[in-house]
Amino acid sequence: MTDIPAESAASIPNRKPFNWRFVTPLMVGSALNPINSSMLATALVGIGTDLQVGPGTTTLLISVLYLSSAVAQPTMGKISTILGPRRTFLSGLVILFVAGVIGAFAPAFGFLLVSRALIGIGTSACYPTAMALIRQRADEAKTGVPTSVLGNLTIAAQITATFGFPLGGILVGAFSWRAIFAVNIPVAIITVLLTLWGVPKDPPRAESERGHVLRALDLPGIVLFAAAIVSLLIFLSSLAAPVWWLAGLFVALLAALILWERRASRPLIDVRMLAANGPLQRTYIRSGLVSLANYAALNGLSQWLEQGRGLNAWTVGLILIPLAGFAAVLSRIVSRRGWIRWPLIVGGLAQAVAGLAMLAITHETSILVLVGMTFLLSCYALGTVGNQATLYLQAPRDEVAVASGLFRTFNYMGAIFSSSLIAISYGAKATDAGLHNLGLGMVGIGVVIALFVVFDRSIPTRAN
C-alpha cells in the first residue's frame, strides 16, 4: 500500500502539532470498539430468527467481543512498541475490514462469532496505539498534550458506546442485521486513508530488531495473560451461580504470569513497574468501578425499560440519546479545563444519586422523568475523563501503549462484572423490585468511587 504523504511534528514547527489531519483518524479508530460493542444489541433478535439460534446462543456474540478485546488491548499495545504504533493501527483496520466482510456475508452463526472476535482484535489495536501516537507527537513537538485532545479521545474511546444503541436500531431498521457488520467495511477503508494522509510514518526499525519480533512479543506472557483474563471474565460473568474453580484457575494463572514476566527480558506487562506504581494501580481499579457502574446502569436500565416498562427497542434508544449527548458535553467541558480530582468525586456521587433515583422508579413513572434520570447517569463521563487524564500522567512514556491497553482491559472487567450484577438484581425478569436492587448496588459503587478518590492524595486537582 502506497503512503499518502503525511506531516511530521518536526516539519511543522509553526503549526499546531495536533491538527485535525492527525487527530481525526485516531478519534475514529478509537470509537470503533465501543460502538461495535453496543451496536449489536438491536440486531440479536433478527440474527436469531434468520440463523435459527436461540437467545442464549446469540448473546455469545456480545461475550466474544468483550473477551477478545480484553485480551487484545494490551497485546496490541505491546505489538505497537515493536512494530510501531502507526503500523499496528493500520493493521487493526485491515483486520476490521476482513471482519466486516465475514460478518456481512456470513452463511452461518459460526462465521459471526469469527467476525466478532476479529472485530474485537482489530479495533483493540486503535486505542492503545492512538495513545502512543499522541505521546510520540507531543515528544517530537516538545510540547504537552492539550487536555482537549485527551478529552476527545475519551469521548471517542468510551462515551461513544452509548451512541451504538440508536445507531444499531437505525441500521437494522433501514437494512437488516447484516448492516451492523457491513458498516465496518467503508469505515475501515476511510480510516485507513485518513491515517495514511495525516499520521506520520513510524521510524524505521533497527536492523538488530528485525527477525526477533517473536522473541520481543513475549508469546508465553501473552498466552498466560489471555488464559488468566478469560478465566476471570467468565467467572465474573457468572456470579449469580459462581464457578469457583475458575477463580482458583485465575489465581494460579496470575501467579504464573507474574513469575514469568519478572524473568522475561521484554515482558508483555512490566509487573515490577506496576507493583511500584501505586497511583497507576488505583487508576485501573477506579476505571473498572466506573465501567461497572456505567454498564450496570446502561444495560440494566435498557433491559428494564423493555421488560418492566414495556417499551420497544427503538424508544429505549431514543431515551438514551440524551445520556450520550450530555456525557459528551460534560467530557468536553472538563477536559478543556484540565480538571481531574473533583470530576472524579462528583462522578462517583452522581452515580450514587442515580442509584437513589432508581429506588423511586416504577413501571408507572413518566418517560420524562426517566429521560431526566439519564442526565444523572451521564455523569459517569466525569469519571472516564478523569481516569483517562490520570493514566496519561502516571504511565511511563515507553509503556503508554501497553498501559493504555491494560486500562481498557480493566474497563471490560467492569463491563462483564456488570452482567452478573444485573442477573443477581433481576433474576428471571427485569421488574420494579429488580431495578430497586440494582439501584442499591449503584449507590454502593458510587460511594466507593468517591471515597476512593477522596483518600487518594496522588490524584492531582488538574492536569499540568
* DSSP letter for each residue of 400-425: HHHHHHHHHHHHHHHHHHHHHHHHHH
User: What does the pLDDT read at residue 250?
Assistant: 94
The two domains 1-212 and 271-464 share their CATH topology (first three levels equal) = yes
Q: Residue ranges per domain, the chain?
A: 1-212, 219-265, 271-464
Prediction pTM value: 0.81
Q: What is the pLDDT along the chain (464 residues), one digit of tens a residue?
A: 445 555 554 444 446 777 888 989 999 998 899 889 888 877 877 888 888 887 667 778 888 888 898 889 888 988 888 889 999 999 999 999 999 999 999 999 999 999 999 999 999 999 899 988 988 888 887 777 676 777 777 777 666 777 777 788 778 878 888 999 999 999 999 999 999 999 998 887 655 555 566 667 788 888 999 899 889 888 887 787 888 999 999 999 999 999 999 988 888 888 888 889 999 999 999 999 998 988 888 778 877 887 788 887 667 777 877 877 888 888 888 888 888 999 999 999 999 999 999 999 988 888 888 888 888 888 888 888 889 889 888 888 778 888 888 888 898 888 888 878 888 888 777 889 989 999 999 999 999 999 999 999 999 888 76
**267 closest CA partner among 225, 224, 221:** 221
CATH architecture observed for domain 271-464:
Up-down Bundle (1.20)
CA angle 12, 198, 388 (to 5 degrees): 95
Report yes or no: 406 and 74 within 8 Å, Cβ to Cβ.
yes
Q: Which residue has the cell 462517583?
A: 348
Count of all residues that appear for the chain in the document: 464
In three-state secondary structure terms, 151 is: helix
User: What does the pLDDT read at residue 207?
Assistant: 52
Report yes or no: 187 and 101 within 8 Å, Cβ to Cβ.
no
Residues 272, 409: Cα–Cα separation, whole Å: 19
Residues 231, 148: Cα–Cα separation, whole Å: 37
Residues 378, 347: Cα–Cα separation, whole Å: 9
If DSSP states are collapsed to H, E and C, what string results for 49-93? Answer: HHHCCCHHHHCHHHHHHHHHHHHHHHHHHHHHHHHCHHHHHHHHH
Residues 132, 385: Cα–Cα separation, whole Å: 18
Q: Which residue has the cell 478518590?
A: 453
Beta bridge partners of 339: 462
Q: CB within 8 A of 94, min separation 6: which ones?
A: 122, 188, 192
pLDDT in tens, 307-321: 788 887 667 777 877
Beta bridge partners of 462: 339
Q: CB within 8 A of 280, min separation 6: which ones?
A: 274, 391, 394, 395, 403
Residues 438, 436: Cα–Cα separation, whole Å: 5
User: What does the pLDDT read at residue 1?
Assistant: 47
Q: Which CATH number fits domain 1-212: 1.10.3720.10, 1.20.1250.20, 3.60.15.10, 1.10.1040.10?
A: 1.20.1250.20
In three-state secondary structure terms, 387 is: helix
